[in-house]
Amino acid sequence: MSMNASLNGWVEEIARLTRPDSIHWCTGSDAENAGLIEVMLASGDLIKLNPTTHPNCYLHRSNPSDVARVEHLTFVCTRSREDAGPNNIWMDPAEAHRKIDALFEGAMRGRTMYVIPYCMGPIDSPYSRCGVEITDSPYVVANMRIMTRMGEEALRRIEREGTFVKGLHSIGDLDPERRFIMHFPEELSIKSVGSGYGGNALLGKKCHALRIASWQARDEGWLAEHMLIMGIQSPEGHTHYIAGAFPSACGKTNLAMLVPPESMPGWKIWTVGDDICWMQVGKDGQLRAINPEAGYFGVVPGTNRKTNKNAYDMIQRDTIFTNVALTADNQPWWEGMESGTPATDWQGKPYSGQGAAAHPNSRFTVSARQNPIYSSLAEAPDGVPISAILFGGRRREVAPLVYEARSWSHGVLVGAGMASETTAAAVGQMGVVRRDSMAMKPFCGYNFGDYWKHWLSLESKTSTLPRIFHVNWFRQDKNGKFMWPGYGENLRVLQWVANRCDGKTEAIESPIGYLPSPDDLNVDGIDIDEDTLRTLLSVDVPAWRQEIEAIGKYLDEFQEHVPEKLREEQRSVAARLG
């Protein structure tokens, strides 16, 4: 029980609705976690992996119908449909509560109800916010322990502050027809039923840290964003911190944990966060960021010592894998691993060699502290100062390797209009280009037009806002071959970004923004010809005329909610393109 009467009353109310056999208040202790793991091993919810090669590692197999975010079943429930906006699926709050509460009725019979107090962000940071998730899934408890500051310290903060986000989750019967994720931002509450997968069930992640927090951030004057946070340290010892927004499975984790190439000695990378970034204007006038998460819930296919050595090394121990394949001696396996042979696929069936052995959206959950380049400032209560913001996605054509926005308001347009090809992180067709403003399309808890207006409002709060850039590592030639080597070589682009922040390098003005000249981008030590580099740093004017027209039509979807300043920026780019 808690000393907070409101929390106790809510727990009792949910117990009456869901009828669990018992209630367990989570403390986050090692003993509690060990007990939960034993329960899951006994039930088959977890499989112990090879203790010699992967000590304290486990595999969880989710239901084949429950392997990714379900955006079409995710609702934002506000009193006014306009507040949710066309970027969200809306439902009236009263109807939503009725609909989902009927599915929660008796849903926890025969199960334990776990009460998880948690803190998003460093426990003593003024930028952090707390929540409580009630769930009947021990898998969720084990993951929330890794992903958040969970347990007694969080409960004490909740009792001091008196406010928290309420999250109710049950795996239900895993029937896709009885699966919903409902958000009630005006009530600071979340209800999720019928899924045990990742962001649908770990309510501190996308549900709280983005959909609910974005609403809180708008009300309180800060930003809750789907962004990595990384430090880039030059050979001279100067560090710039950069936030980067990329849709899921577009390389955020790889970039946040980048390994500098041998041809760039002296450079270092520090990871503050790989997925979510909360930013507030600090006392010094700079936009300062914290990572509200304490762990990584990363996409594992393609991860190897070459693509992401830091991630590969840290998941060799103390990790929960979800929906990967297994070798004959119980080691985890996934496509792109470059060693080992799968014996059983992600569903536990003998692997025949046909199709993917691991699910394309298979995951790892691991503590951020295991990252060899984990930044000590990830625990700093005041966060880190952000020098630059990157926007980017998967674009085979159109988008150059890198360009800089002309101003903050132009940068908001760049973020608002960014597009990417869809990936396996969400249910639906892959490879379709869609607008994904600030990589927040599935995660913004209110009308995008009002969201862009909130971004623009930061200009009135400080005169030292970060520079804004757009990057695209995924440009392809006519034969479908990637034109840029990517991975660690992306540091070359970040070096140009850092130099622009320091005023150390020039740029070429173009209709869409400022681009590096081929001479100003460090390509020493990589095999790239002049024509390819020139193409990567060029603006295809006819293609961009179509792009900026498409962005204008996209803005029109949000009607009178679109700030006039954003429309002016769009018209200015169109005019410069001629």
Angle between helices 408-417 and 448-457 (to 10 degrees): 160
- 513 membership: H or E segment, kind and range: strand 513-515
Kindly give, in sequence order, each residue whose CB lies less than 8 Å from that of residue 412, ignoring residues fewer than 6 positions away.
452, 455, 456, 468, 566, 569
Asked about 501 being catalytic, the answer comes back as no
Q: What is the largest CA-CA distance in the chain?
A: 69
| Other Cβ atoms within 10 Å of 263 Cβ, number | 14
d(CA 371, CA 295): 10
Q: What is the residue whose two structure tokens read 């990417």?
A: 420
Query: Is the CB of residue 308 less than 8 Å from the CB of residue 295?
Result: no
DSSP string across 340-405: ---SB-TTSPBP-SSS-SS-TT-EEEEEGGGSTTB-GGGG-TT-EEEEEEEEE---SSSS-SEEE-
Q: Which residue out of 26, 57, 130, 250 is catalytically annotated? A: 250
Q: What is the residue whose two structure tokens read 């320091």?
A: 502
For 317, half-sphere exposure in the C-beta direction (CA atoms, 13 angstrom radius) is 6
Counting Cβ atoms within 10 Å, is residue 101 exposed (0-12), middle (13-18) or buried (19+)?
middle
Identify the DSSP state of 208: I
Q: What is the residue whose two structure tokens read 């990595």?
A: 228
| Position 76, amino acid | V
Residue 72 φ/ψ, nearest 5 degrees: -75, -10
Residue 413 CA, chain-centre distance (Å), reads 21
Q: What is the residue whose two structure tokens read 């008796």?
A: 106
- 567 membership: H or E segment, kind and range: helix 564-577
d(CA 193, CA 196): 8
Kindly give, in sequence order, each residue whose CB lies less than 8 Å from that of residue 340, ignoring residues fewer than 6 positions away.
327, 331, 333
Question: CA 129, 133, 137: angle at the middle one, nearest 5?
Answer: 145
Query: Is the CB of residue 356 less than 8 Å from the CB of residue 337?
Result: no
Kindly give, in sequence order, each residue whose CB lies less than 8 Å from that of residue 556, ignoring residues fewer than 6 positions away.
562
SS3 call for 522: coil
Identify the DSSP state of 206: I
Identify the DSSP state of 472: -
d(CA 442, CA 444): 6
Where in the sequence numbering do the catalytic residues fall? 250
